[in-house]
Amino acid sequence: EPEVTQTPSHQVTQMGQEVILRCVPISNHLYFYWYRQILGQKVEFLVSFYNNEISEKSEIFDDQFSVERPDGSNFTLKIRSTKLEDSAMYFCASTPGLPNTGELFFGEGSRLTVL
Amino acid sequence: AQSVAQPEDQVNVAEGNPLTVKCTYSVSGNPYLFWYVQYPNRGLQFLLKYITGDNLVKGSYGFEAEFNKSQTSFHLKKPSALVSDSALYFCAVRGNTGGFKTIFGAGTRLFVKA
């Protein structure tokens, strides 16, 4: 069964450093998302991405965050200058061509620890 | 703006008993509603969804959910709980415009005791 893959599974970084989290969505999916989950609690929407541009973003997704689909398969989330409060589990998700009715397919997540 | 409320942080049930995990929602227009489950240190897995049609929808692992438009609810149910159902359950709603973002409730932790 096709799946969303994420790397790294865990990254530890120093405050102020740049971090790139990588995702490979399911190949025929068209809509891509990043979510984060702090301490196993609420799952928070960060950004949605379609046709090589951001469709929607939350207040969390400020100028320190960016997303990119550099090569038609990877979908990356970059945090330019990490803060302690960026420590969280980051999930990539994708849906096929019917974004309103299709369920999200999630990766296993990348745990980011900022020291 | 859409929102989802899961009023219970935790639900405890004995194995073999029926379970209900509650969810209410608020959204403009037609609601697209989902349930997801998360096991420890894993990503979220889709359980079931309501898009249109029958108010009772059936999903994976014997779960079902009942859509109630007048009460704006979408409660998750299972007739007979298993210990292996113990996990974190999220109700979610999707809007009809923009980036079609899915908004999740705060989650309800289900404990099924043998």
SS3 sequence of B54-113: CCEEECHHHCEEEEECCCCEEEEEECCCCHHHCEEEEEEEECCCCCCCEEECCCEEEEEE
The average pLDDT across A58-80 equals 94
Determine the length of chain B: 114
Q: How confident is the model at residue A18 (pLDDT cuts 50, 70, 90)?
A: very high
State how far the Cα of B106 lies from the Cα of B84, in Å rounded to an integer: 21
Please, which residues 11-70 of chain A have a Cβ atom closer than 8 Å to chain B? 31, 33, 35, 40-45, 47-50, 54-58
B106: chain A residues, CB-CB within 8 Å? 41-42
Is A102 a residue whose pLDDT tops 90? no
The average pLDDT across A96-109 equals 83
pLDDT of residue A63: 95
DSSP designation for A71? S
pLDDT of residue A39: 82
> B32-38 and B10-14 as β-strands: parallel, antiparallel, unpaired?
unpaired
Q: Whose CA is closest to A109, among A41, A23, A45, A49? A: A23
State how far the Cα of A31 lies from the Cα of A41, in Å rounded to an integer: 24
Q: Which two structure tokens, joined as six digits, stand for B89? A: 């359950």
Q: How confident is the model at residue A89 (pLDDT cuts 50, 70, 90)?
A: very high
CB pairs under 8 A between A and B: 72
Q: Which residue of B has its CA nearest to A104?
A: B46
State how far the Cα of A92 lies from the Cα of A76, in Å rounded to an integer: 9
pLDDT of residue A100: 65
State how far the Cα of A32 lies from the Cα of B11, in Å rounded to an integer: 32
pLDDT of residue B100: 73
Is A97 a residue whose pLDDT tops 80? no
Task: Judge: A54–B99 Cβ closer than 8 Å, yes or no.
Answer: yes
Tens of pLDDT along chain B (114 residues) come to 789 999 999 999 999 999 999 999 998 888 899 999 999 889 999 999 998 889 999 999 999 999 999 999 999 999 999 999 999 999 999 876 655 789 999 999 999 999
Q: What are phi and psi of B64, to 5 degrees?
A: -145, 165
State how far the Cα of A90 lies from the Cα of A107, in Å rounded to an integer: 9
A23: chain B residues, CB-CB within 8 Å? none
DSSP designation for A104? P
A33: chain B residues, CB-CB within 8 Å? 101-102
Q: Which residues pair with B58 in a beta bridge?
A: B64
pLDDT of residue A40: 78
Is A98 a residue whose pLDDT tops 70? no
The average pLDDT across A60-71 equals 94
